[in-house]
Structures are given as structure tokens and as C-alpha cells.
Amino acid sequence: MTPTRYLWNPPPVHSLAVQGRGERYPIHRLFFVGRNYHAHAVEMGRPVDKAVEVPFYFTKAPSTLVESGATVAYPPQTKDYQFEMELVVAIGAPGFRVDEADASKLIYGYACGLDMTRRDLQLAAREKGRPWDLGKDVEQSSVVSPIVPMAGMVLDKGVLELSVNGKLRQQSDLSKLIWNIPELIADLSKFYHLQPGDLIFTGTPEGVGPLRPGDRVEGRVDGVGTIALTVGPAQ
């Protein structure tokens, strides 16, 4: 068989470290849940009524992935670069149209995540009914800690918090998720054939805010671990 030839070298496989394992977790897709804590939905001016609404999602390219501890440049074309601290679910088994009762079978483990956002561009797009890509799908904007294997486990409580330069900015509990983890997996699997390597960022609580070059961001989720990011000079 003739080997496939490319015009240039294909991009590398994006992956994350796995706690206690020598192998790495290869990334397939990055899914993000919008407005999944009531207090954050209110601070963004879009309250959520779970009785009449369903989860909504956006995606980012796997190339936006950055491992915890990195320094990333303050991105171009924004004056409002913001942090969002989140719990990340790592999928480890395929599933399509999964029942909520079976959703935990798809869970490989968990990580801490940061959904870094050009908020001014996101809100400008939202007001015009346009996609959020320029605000959300930002280079080096999907920051993730090493994955902690917890196959089949559902996290339904635990403190999630974030500090900037040592000052607490976000603090909540996983019990305050509007749509819990089995609900999210079951719902998302109605639209996508979920695959090993898919990451689901489950949403951020209240307290999001802007960063400046030189800021140090540190976060944690009980039972999962910690995450850190330094904002470098603007490009």
C-alpha cells in the first residue's frame, strides 16, 4: 500500500496527561456548556428556567488546548479577556442517544478547566445574533489540568473556585449545576456520537471577570485537582 503523502506535516495529536498513567489522553473534540449555574446566567443577563429550556453548547477547536501551568499571550483584538473556571468531563466510551441512567458508563474521568473568553467580542456577537467564534474559539483558550481517572463516577458535589493573583474571584459547588453531568451527557448524545477523547466543559459559576497581562490565575475542584495559568504580554 502506498503511504499517504501530505503537502505539509499534519498537525500533532493534541493530548493531556493522565494522573497515574504513562499514556496520554488523546483529544477528539471540545464541547462547552453555556449558562449552567443560575448565578452566572443572571450576571450575564440571561436567566435560565430549566422547566422550559434545554442546555446549549458551543465548541472550540482542539488546537486551542493548553495544559495547566502554561503562560499564554493576551489575545489580539480584545480589551476584555476573561476567565471562566469549570469542571471538565473526559469521555472514555462511545455513546449515541444515551439514556440518562446509562450516561455514567461514558465517563473516563475529570479535570479542571478554564474557558478563556474575549468577552467583548462574545457579547457583541450575541447582541447581533451571530456565532460566538471570535469571542470563544480563541487560540490557547482551553486550559485543562491532568485528567483524573474516575471511570463511571458521577460528581454531584464539591467546591469549585478560582483566584486571580491570590484573590478569590469565583466560588461555588458542583451541586449548583443546572443540568447535572448525566443530564448533559444524555442530552449532548442526542446531537453527537460521543467518542473517547471528547471533553465536556460543564459551565462556570458567577464571578467571571477581566484579566491583564501578568495576572496569575489559579483554580481547583474538590477531588479533581488544581489548575494554573499566567497571562503574558499582548501579541
CATH of the domain at 34: 3.90.850.10
Domain-embedded: residue 3: no
Asked whether residue 10 is domain-assigned, the answer is no
Rounded-to-integer distance, Cα 97 and Cα 103, Å: 10
Q: Looking at the domain assignment, is residue 2 inside a domain?
A: no
What is the per-residue pLDDT across 143-162, written as a single tens digit (0 to 9) for each? 999 999 999 999 999 999 99
Mean model confidence pLDDT for the chain: 96
Whether residue 45 is predicted with pLDDT greater than 90 in this model: the reply is: no
Would the pLDDT of 203 be above 90?
yes
Most distant pair of Cα atoms in the chain: their distance: 59
Cβ–Cβ under 8 Å, residues 196 and 92: yes
* pLDDT value at 49 more than 90: no
95 assigned to some structural domain: yes
Q: How far apart are CA 229 and CA 217, in angstroms?
A: 5
Q: Are strands 81-83 and 117-118 parallel, antiparallel or unpaired?
A: antiparallel
Domain coverage including residue 163: 15-234
Number of domains the chain is built from: 1
Contacts 24+ apart (CB under 8 A), 73-76: 73/140, 73/232, 73/233, 73/234, 73/235, 74/211, 74/212, 74/213, 74/231, 74/232, 74/233, 74/234, 74/235, 75/118, 75/138, 75/139, 75/140, 75/141, 75/234, 75/235, 76/234, 76/235
Output the pLDDT for position 1: 81
pLDDT tens readout for residues 27-44: 999 999 999 998 888 888
Q: Is residue 179 part of a domain?
A: yes
Residue range 65-92, pLDDT digits in tens: 999 999 999 999 999 999 999 999 999 9
Query: What digits encode the pLDDT tens for the residues 91-136?
Result: 999 999 999 999 999 999 999 999 999 999 999 999 999 999 999 9
Is there a domain that residue 31 lies in?
Answer: yes
Return the higher-pLDDT residue of 1 and 165.
165
